[in-house]
Structure 1
Amino acid sequence: MSGRLHISNPVVRRFNNLPQALQYSLIYAAALGLSKGLALVMVPVATHYLTPADYGRLDVLQTLADLLSILIGMGLAETLYRYAGSADNPEERNAAAANIFGMALCLGGFALVLGQLCAGPVSRLLPGDISETDTRLILFSLALCGTILVPLAWLRMQNFAWLYLAGTAGRVALQVAISVLLLTLGFGVTGVLSATLISAIVLAAYLIYKQYQDTGIRFDFTRFRSYSVYGGPLIFVGIAGFVLGSFDRWILADSVGTAKMAEYALAAKFGLITAVLIQPFDLWWHARRFSRLKEADGPQACARFAAIGIIIALFAALFITAAGPLMVRLLTPEAYHGAIDYIPWLAALAAVHNITATLNFGAMTQRSTWRPAAVDCSAAALALTGYLLLIPLYQAWGAIIATSIALVSRCLVTLYISQRILPLPYPLRRLTLLVVISLLLISLTPQQPLSWATLGLYPLIFTAFVTAVISSGLIPLSLLPARLQQRLHTLHRKLSLPGNTGK
């Protein structure tokens, strides 16, 4: 179930001849494409059966899930990468994985009991008049978070990419099928949350069985202490990420109501497809970068793959800037079309968020993660201050301005600290120039309905981006198939800018 298919077929043979990084990225892309494509089916269905106010309530519960999954997950996937990924032998790797999964089960059981006890008070604290039943459903689903995230991370570490694809896409397919059925029967938000819970139970049951087969489950509490030192601060990183990525919608819901906030929430969903487009590469690379660093050319390889990840993030933001408005017009009623104005900037912010996660590798190599926690909490405090000051004045644009200031500041500080801990040879000047060019192209991408005039601009914008990438020399041609290498090598010589070999 790794990235290689053993089937006699010309297409499969071509796939097997691709570089390993590209093979796994394509499989993870298929997993995300199927998952998000199926989830995208829910957009026209949900906006048809749910009023904007109900859609806003569902978004409030989903942002609650974002927050609590951070607390329940406790950075255990990252802890698995750190301790199992840097283990010196298979026995130690399996022991680390078994104990981290045991820790996940303990946290999940505790979260299940505590969540059901606290469901009533939590529902009353949430904005938007959320029912206690809906709160119980989302809290039950979240208790399964660790039992899903850790085994999925293990599959990625073991290169069981096809199994990862089957698990993630299968869960979403089941969730969407049940959601559509329950929405048509009139169950509203409760139906969507019930579908989420059922699909989570099915996937968790299989993954617990699979993990037990692979590594067993252990409860070595002396190890739990060292894992907590590493993963514990990541809770604060996650909470800061929640503030930077979702909490603005809670303030907006309280300030302008869930119906008006629904436009911004929908834009955020489309903007965050940027992160989905980036994830295939990240799912492969982030699970392997610790072991890659230990190899002979580790620092150079880590810098090279980080640059590739940044290019993918910038392209994803540009793509969503162009495609997002069209998708909103095709998939949603006119009452939601105000979301279009926000999509380009939310897509760009999603790219900045991902670039920060790519550049924080140096800080993540330490035995404790308090440095990234401190940086992220400072950025969250800056964003929260901006939300409280700017949202009452400028509503959604105030949220975007505050988030922009916080995310850019966090990215720069993270790069500085990580380079102090683990200096990697990033091509910073070329990357900075590419970021500036990408932001300019995003600002020039038309958002109005398609016409012959606007349609002609899209090829020009994407051609300009590809030209800038090739000219920069940031993607090594050796990573591509031989025939494509030859064509791009010729094109690269023609387009190469003076001095592009420097940093």
Structure 2
Amino acid sequence: MSINKKLMRDTLLYATGPVFNKIIAFFLIPFYSYILIEHELGYYDLILTSSQLIVAVGTLKISDSLYRWLMDNNIDDDLRTSAISNSFAVIMASILLMLVINYAIPAGSGPMHKNLICLLIITVLLLGHLFQLLRGLKLIKEYAYVSIFNGILLLCSNIILLGIFHLRLQGVMLSLVISNSICILYISYRIHLLSFLKINMVNSVVLKSMIKYSAPLVYNAISWWLMGGFDRYVIAGFLGLDANGIYAIAAKFSAVIILINSFFLPAWQDMLLKESNLFSVKMQFSKMLNLYITLLLSLVILLSSLSKIFIEHAIDPRYYEAWKYIPVLLAGNALLALTSFIGTLYVLERNTYHIFITSVLGSVVNILISVLLINSVQLYGPGLGMLSGFLAIFLVRYFYYKKRISIQIQLRPLLLLFTIFIFVMWCLYFANRSFYYVSIFIAITTFLLVNRKLGLELFRTISNTLLRSKTGNT
């Protein structure tokens, strides 16, 4: 299977920073498990989950609109400046509104001060917007470097505030605020942000046009939050914050799948938006979909097999039962990645309405199953709800585009991988220790074999990139 080399190079660039950043965040999980008790970790997870919804609704998803406008109008300086100025007008209005609301809300008696939570949300908002700006300006290397920088800052801040000053939950939150704030200042200086911000370029026509594109994405974001965030409130409400802390550990481990999606999807999306030949897009899409399904399913098998041994040796014993829920969450996140992959076609067509409709369907399925099952199967309920919701979205989107661009999924390798997945799950949950280690070996072998072509192409791309760097050909 021939893989688009430009896509591979862009994927590597997108991967460099975010992967490093996410790896840092991943290895902070064991650190947090020994520092924070279940209640604190559950509370922290609720704050992060809530911030995602607040940022999406509060900014009207204007960052997505900015990226789309810059990809269309990057050559025209006036259009570019106008899009950036208008988007920041929305961002500044959102920040002002958050500050007013924060001031109006009485201080609670929880472990985190409300002002720190507000500051965290603002820094997440600004950094996310600036990352989209870097993507829209095609500054992929800067995007990668800042992500690496952010990860290093987060690690250092956590070591100092938690390891030395023993600030616990407050230290975790402050670490995120500090790392985000420094990166915001760096990006603003590096790209001369003030030169793009002109008050006279803010006008209602451009602003309405951008919001018209982004507003349906707010409903989509709410639906996605209901898919991946509302379950935290269901767990906290039915089972308590301690259970949410255990679920958070499982969710953070399974988020490795999202890591793969976070660097592959932007590169794929960029390629689609730059591609003027619709026939070429249709030809590549089916090949890339099958490649992605194989990669994700083999990764689910591999990570599921390693979940128990990771939790046993890396996480505090009070979170041990988290391993049980990881395979379900991994499968759900794999389906999330596939729905996002097909969703890039909606972005290409600016069909945000269908994005919203399919996301609403998935969120309804997720909520119903989560609430109905949580009392009977405990934390498996939200996991199965998420899995079912993303499966519903994937099937609807798949059959919608199957008629339009002739998507063909290769069933034979899919059935083989699914059979191996069932065997690994049996070994993980029911077999003795010897069979469990055999399943790990099979999972690793399977992952290497089915992704060998992708691995070779990746190796060639890295080698060629390094050779060009040595010879000065950039």
TM-score (normalised: structure 1): 0.80
Structure 1 residues 204 and 213, CA gap change in structure 2 (3 angstroms): closer
Amino acid in the other structure paired with 2:168: G
Give the deviation of 1:203 after TM superposition: 1.4
**Alpha-carbon separation, structure 2, partners of 1:285 and 1:72:** 28
Give the deviation of 1:137 after TM superposition: 1.6
Give the deviation of 1:243 after TM superposition: 1.2
What residue in structure 2 maps to residue 169 of structure 1? 148
Structure 1 residues 367 and 340, CA gap change in structure 2 (3 angstroms): closer
Would you say the 8 A contact 2:250–2:322 is kept in 1? yes
Specify which of 352, 355, 362 is matched with residue 372 of structure 1. Answer: 355
What residue in structure 2 maps to residue 37 of structure 1? 23
**Alpha-carbon separation, structure 2, partners of 1:476 and 1:299:** 24
What residue in structure 2 maps to residue 20 of structure 1? 6
Would you say the 8 A contact 2:120–2:177 is kept in 1? yes
Specify which of 393, 403, 407 is matched with residue 426 of structure 1. Answer: 407
What residue in structure 2 maps to residue 400 of structure 1? 383
Runs of 4+ displaced beyond 6 Å: 475-480
What residue in structure 2 maps to residue 65 of structure 1? 51
Aligned length: 452
**Alpha-carbon separation, structure 2, partners of 1:55 and 1:368:** 38
Find the residue that maps to 1:310 and give its secondary structure.
helix
Would you say the 8 A contact 1:263–1:338 is kept in 2? yes
Amino acid in the other structure paired with 2:227: L
User: Is structure 2 residue 240 aligned with structure 1 residue 240?
Assistant: no
Specify which of 173, 177, 184 is matched with residue 197 of structure 1. Answer: 177
Query: What whole-Å deviation, never above 9, does each CA across 1:242-296 have from its counterpart, x for those lacking one?
Result: 1111211211112111113322221011111111123222232223321225466
Would you say the 8 A contact 1:178–1:195 is kept in 2? yes
Would you say the 8 A contact 2:130–2:184 is kept in 1? no
Give the deviation of 1:468 after TM superposition: 5.5
**Alpha-carbon separation, structure 1, partners of 2:279 and 2:353:** 28
**Alpha-carbon separation, structure 2, partners of 1:417 and 1:355:** 14
Structure 1 residues 242 and 130, CA gap change in structure 2 (3 angstroms): farther
Give the deviation of 1:444 after TM superposition: 2.4
**Alpha-carbon separation, structure 2, partners of 1:146 and 1:331:** 32
Greater RCO structure (CA 8 Å; 6+ sep): 2
Structure 1 residues 28 and 476, CA gap change in structure 2 (3 angstroms): closer
User: Is structure 2 residue 86 aligned with structure 1 residue 94?
Assistant: no
**Alpha-carbon separation, structure 1, partners of 2:423 and 2:350:** 44
Find the residue that maps to 2:73 and give its secondary structure.
coil
**Alpha-carbon separation, structure 1, partners of 2:227 and 2:281:** 32
What residue in structure 1 maps to residue 256 of structure 2? 273
Structure 1 residues 131 and 389, CA gap change in structure 2 (3 angstroms): same
Structure 1 residues 323 and 464, CA gap change in structure 2 (3 angstroms): closer
Would you say the 8 A contact 1:32–1:169 is kept in 2? yes
User: Is structure 2 residue 400 aligned with structure 1 residue 412?
Assistant: no
**Alpha-carbon separation, structure 2, partners of 1:183 and 1:479:** 38
User: Is structure 2 residue 123 aligned with structure 1 residue 136?
Assistant: no
User: Is structure 2 residue 338 aligned with structure 1 residue 355?
Assistant: yes
Would you say the 8 A contact 2:332–2:387 is kept in 1? yes
What residue in structure 2 maps to residue 382 of structure 1? 365
Give the deviation of 1:340 after TM superposition: 0.6
Structure 1 residues 349 and 434, CA gap change in structure 2 (3 angstroms): farther
What residue in structure 1 maps to residue 428 of structure 2? 447
Give the deviation of 1:213 after TM superposition: 4.7
Q: Write the mapping of 1:118-129 to structure 2, written as runs, cut at 5 A.
A: 119-120=105-106
Give the deviation of 1:226 after TM superposition: 1.2
**Alpha-carbon separation, structure 2, partners of 1:280 and 1:323:** 23
What residue in structure 1 maps to residue 135 of structure 2? 156
Per mean C-alpha deviation after superposition, the further-off stretch among 446-455 and 166-175 is 446-455
Would you say the 8 A contact 2:25–2:151 is kept in 1? yes
Per mean C-alpha deviation after superposition, the further-off stretch among 455-464 and 53-62 is 455-464
Would you say the 8 A contact 1:101–1:147 is kept in 2? no
Would you say the 8 A contact 2:99–2:118 is kept in 1? no
**Alpha-carbon separation, structure 1, partners of 2:271 and 2:418:** 30
Structure with the larger helix share: 2
Amino acid in the other structure paired with 1:206: Y
Structure 1 residues 84 and 408, CA gap change in structure 2 (3 angstroms): same
Give the deviation of 1:232 after TM superposition: 0.9
Structure 1 residues 257 and 399, CA gap change in structure 2 (3 angstroms): same
**Alpha-carbon separation, structure 2, partners of 1:302 and 1:40:** 31
What residue in structure 1 maps to residue 467 of structure 2? none
What residue in structure 2 maps to residue 497 of structure 1? none
Structure 1 residues 93 and 191, CA gap change in structure 2 (3 angstroms): same
What residue in structure 1 maps to residue 266 of structure 2? 283
TM-score (normalised: structure 2): 0.84
| Backbone CA RMSD of aligned residues | 3.2
Per mean C-alpha deviation after superposition, the further-off stretch among 318-327 and 292-301 is 292-301
User: Is structure 2 residue 189 aligned with structure 1 residue 209?
Assistant: yes
**Alpha-carbon separation, structure 1, partners of 2:322 and 2:90:** 38
